[in-house]
Structures are given as C-alpha cells and as structure tokens.
Structure 1
C-alpha cells in the first residue's frame, strides 16, 4: 500500500470487541523502556482495560490486525477540592478516575490516557483518527469535554528546553503548535489548558536505569536519555535516579 494512502481502519470499543484484549495489550509499540516503569501505570492501566472497556478503543486494519489503541477514563474534574487540571497530570487523573469509581462519584469529564499506533503504521494519520474516535465516544456517553495530558512527540529532541516554553511554540505559517502531536490536538479543536510539570515520575536504582537505557549513569546531575522529554536526575551517592516528566494539558470542548 502507498504510504500516502489512508489505510482502512475499523475502530471499536473494547467492550464491543473483548476478544481483541490480548492483541491490543501486546501490540508492538515504540515507548521507551523507562517510560513504562511508572508505578501508577503499572498498577492502574490493567484496571482501565478490565474495568472501563467502554472507554478503551481498538483499531483494526482490513485484515483484522490490531494497529492502534486508545485508553481514556471518566473522572470528576469539578468535584469538591478539584476544579483545576492537576499538575501531576497523567498520574493524578488515573488516580482520580479510580477513586471516583470506588466512591460512586459521578464523572463529568473524560481524560485521554494513551493513544498508541503500531510502528509500521505511524505517520499515516491514525493517531488523529483515534483521537477523533475518542472524542466521539465521550460525546456519545454524554460528556461535554475531553482533556488530555499530552506527551509532545518531538520534545525529546530538546530535553533542556522548559516545557513552559516548548508547549507554546507555534508555526508562523498557520499559528498551530510547532510540535506534531500538539498540532493534531489543536486541529481537532483543542486548546492548551496548562503545563503539567510533574505528570509522570519514574525512579529506580542506577542498575535499573542502566538496564532501561544502556547508559552508564555514573555521573551526578542531569542525564539526557533518548526518548526522555527532560533530563533524568542522577544521584550516584544515593544509588538512585529519577525522571519527572512534564506533559501539556489540552482541552477539547465537545
């Protein structure tokens, strides 16, 4: 198939196609190894699949192979003590979603959690189509807003640049965000809400970081790691390194 040709795609919820759960969960991706070590993700992402399948989207190609997935969660943004999108972005909204579910609190907003496309199909518009399907799924369930703690796709090229600067860069030609993934959201009608400075945190021993990255991790201070949006803080004297990832909250009115 010509790489420029839009692929045939069928998007359903996991609730509609539960038999796709294993293929969706194990589909290839290009997430950096360290990025999937976040303890909140390790604890709660399996529960999103198990407990909220109507908010999990699965895309299959013409042959029925899973080529993309999208996770989202409903939560109560306007609950007492909240109201603002959290600085702890991705981690916090996952925790809120399951706290709300446990307490019986009615959700008023849907948050995107992840949209992933298999490596061989990237660059062909599938992420935008998954985002559109996620918005439509939320709208169909009566929600008026989707929010997303977005991981800008090209930020890793400039890890030393503050996210507060990077997120607001726009192209002179059309005023859209310079970052490709932020631009997909903007084209879908989203606006930047704020930067989430501590959206995800991954900590580990130096041996773990060496295994995850192949880097020596033997010098104190900032370590630039391929795929990381900001440098990892290395503390050899404590046999410890930590990565605190900033994301960008995008708001989609429905």
Structure 2
C-alpha cells in the first residue's frame, strides 16, 4: 500500500487524526515534561509534525521533531536528560524567538493495524529529508530501543552496543536508524523521569509496589525504584542519542 507524507503545516486538517492508540506505557504519560509540552507540538511546531496517510487519507503514522539551538556555552552537547531536555530547549527557544541550529526527532508512532509494513522507516526517512531541506546539518534522536523492553535489568551501556554478525545493532529500532545512516553517539541516562505515589504506580502498572527496591514495570526499559517509607516510586529512563548527518546524498534523493 502506498503512503503519502505531509506535515501538519501543509495539511492542518490531519491534526484531527493524531490521537490514535499507541504502545507507550501509561506511566510515561505522567512525565511532567510530556504532560506540559507533548500535546502542544502540532500547534507550536506544525511544520515539524509529519503524518503518513493511506489511500483513504487516514493518518496511519505520526512523527514529531523539534528545533533548538545546541551550540551555546550553556548547552554545547547532546543532553543527558535526552527527550525531556530536547522539549524544554525547543519550547524555551521558540518562546524567546531564538534561531535553531539542530533538529531533534522525538517520536514516531505507527497505528497498530499498520505496524510491520515498514512505516517507521518511511517516517524516519521523511524526517531526515525535511530536516535537510530546512537547512539543518544533522537530525538527532533520543532513541527508545524497542528490544530493551525484554531486558529491563540489563544496563543500557551493555545493551546498546550489542551487534549482529553483520555489525548492525541487535536492537531493531537502533538497527533501523543505523541502516538509515545514523550513528550511535551516547546514552542519555535520564531521558525521561516519572515520579508518583505508590498508589499511583499500582494504578498505572498493576504491580503491588509493596516492598523497597527495584520493580519491573510493563513497558519499562528499566525498573522503577520503590521507597516504601516515603510512599513514592521513581522511574528514570535511559535513551540512546543517535546522530544522522544530513549530506548532499539526501538532497539528491529528493531532487
């Protein structure tokens, strides 16, 4: 099935179809940065919000990216706070009218009934191409490795550098990025942070949270930390920074 990709700036009518079901764990929605900013992306950055549509003009995938200024004395490198910091920088810069020098892709979601058809790759390539057209020299991504869900107790520093016999990453989503030309740069150890009372965590995950220590949570890349005496738990998710250098080869592809 052929798909067409548009930005919300090009087709604002598609903004009404962005809220389809996704595979993110419920607790991630309570990351305070997510709560404050994620829902505003199509309105604030419509040209950086892209959708793939099918023959019936139904949105079957969505991708979000944001621009920010990284090369400043107080920033300068990809942040340890990954996904959260990228959103904070982008909205801060936008509010102050600061010109950006970096584009950051922060999420691709494919509708469940269209998964397994290569749409993630299509969306990633569309975001790379559009970043190139806008004049950025690279697209950076705080990647959430999909296979890490199966190994929450494995350190990300160990997991991320596993490769297959062909030299590509074992993780399927990292592998998609590397095949597209991305290079693994570093780990963002505190890319997303969610805190809540133990009753909240029980509601979000169905886990008892009845003893101190680490608790594996559905959809988590790492365990949450339970502190009984203080009646709270915290989840600190590491992501993986991947850099996509945008070269003239991309320009030739879209010429």
- Range into which the TM-score falls when normalised by the shorter chain: over 0.9
Is 1:189 the counterpart of 2:178? The answer is: no
- What is the distance in 2 between the residues matched to 1:85 and 1:102? 21
Is 1:37 the counterpart of 2:37? The answer is: no
The structure 2 residue matched to 1:208, chosen from 200, 222, 227, is: 200
CA RMSD of superposed structures (Å): 0.9
Is 1:11 the counterpart of 2:5? The answer is: yes
The structure 2 residue matched to 1:170, chosen from 163, 167, 171, is: 163
The structure 2 residue matched to 1:233, chosen from 194, 202, 225, is: 225
| SS at 2:35 equivalent | helix
- What is the distance in 2 between the residues matched to 1:170 and 1:77? 30
Instruction: Tell me the TM-score normalised to structure 2 length.
Output: 0.94
Q: How does 1:1-254 map to 2 (within 5 A)?
A: 7-24=1-18, 26-172=19-165, 174-254=166-246
- What is the distance in 2 between the residues matched to 1:22 and 1:222? 40
Shift of 1:47: 2.4
Shift of 1:80: 2.3
- What is the distance in 2 between the residues matched to 1:123 and 1:236? 41
CA distances 1:190-236 after superposition (whole Å, capped 9, x unpaired): 00110000000011111111111111111110001121000000112
- What is the distance in 2 between the residues matched to 1:209 and 1:22? 31
CA distances 1:5-26 after superposition (whole Å, capped 9, x unpaired): xx321110011111111211x1
- What is the distance in 2 between the residues matched to 1:233 and 1:61? 42
Structure 2 unaligned spans of 5+: 247-255
| Aligned length in residues | 246
Instruction: Tell me the TM-score normalised to structure 1 length.
Output: 0.95
